[in-house]
Amino acid sequence: MLKGFKEFLLRGNVVDLAVAVVIGAAFGAVVTALVKDLLTPLIAALVGKPDFSAFTFTINGSKFLYGEFLNAVISFVLVGAAIYFFIVVPMKALTTRMSKPAAASEPTTRPCPECLMEIPVKARRCGHCTATVAAAQA
């Protein structure tokens, strides 16, 4: 029974998932700090107080804290923007720069000289107009 448990724990996907969770948590802390410590004060410097938690309204004795919701929405947008502009865009540029251009492959089709429809390179007769076609030149 312990042998099966050991095999389960040492499978590649379990270990990879554990590493991803730990790295994700650490990365989440970095992004949260970026938004909280850099982006939010920057917005506060531009437009004033960034905390909307005091915004409320009351209907029939029920208090609605829409300021808290507004804070959450702004935080979500800032985190999304930080991830996109500081992680996704640079990684995409790096991946594009590091990837090798695809090698040009030989064409697999050619136009029929009679009807101009695409036919396989090795075809001796057009499947569209049934015209006899000369062998492809190498």
pLDDT value for 59: 92
Residue 138, pLDDT above cutoff 60: no
- Whether residue 68 sits in one domain with residue 10: yes
CATH classification of the domain holding 71 = 1.10.1200.120
Q: How far apart are CA 86 and CA 27, in angstroms?
A: 12
Using CA atoms, how far apart are residues 133 and 112, in angstroms rounded to an integer?
A: 7
Q: What is the dihedral of CA 68, 72, 73, 78, to 10 degrees?
A: 140
Question: Are residues 84 and 133 both part of a single domain?
Answer: no
Sign of the Cα pseudo-torsion (126, 129, 132, 135, in order): negative
Residues 14 and 52 in one domain: yes
Number of structural domains found in the chain: 2
Q: What is the pLDDT of residue 12?
A: 67
Tell whether 82 and 47 lie within a shared domain: yes
- Does residue 124 share a domain with residue 73? no
Count CB atoms within 10 A of the CB of residue 5: 9
Q: What does pTM read for this prediction?
A: 0.51
How does pLDDT run across 57-115, given as a tens digit for each residue?
A: 899 999 888 888 888 888 888 888 888 888 889 989 998 888 877 777 888 899 998 88
Q: Can you spell out the DSSP letters for 96-118? A: HHHSPPPPPPPPSEEE-TTT--E
Q: Are residues 75 and 13 in the same domain?
A: yes
The answer on 110 and 92 residing in a single domain is no
Same domain, 37 and 85: yes
Integer angstrom CA distances of residue 76 from 32, 43, 70, 73: 10, 14, 10, 5
Do 9 and 69 belong to one domain? Answer: yes
Structural domain boundaries enclosing 68: 2-98
Do 92 and 117 belong to one domain?
A: no
Nearest CA to 70 out of 88, 86, 57, 83 is that of 57
87 and 112: one domain?
no
pLDDT at 50: 67
**Rounded CA gap, 105 and 107, in Å?**
6
**Among 28-32, 40-44, 74-78, 82-86, which is the least confidently predicted range?**
40-44
Q: Are residues 33 and 89 in the same domain?
A: yes
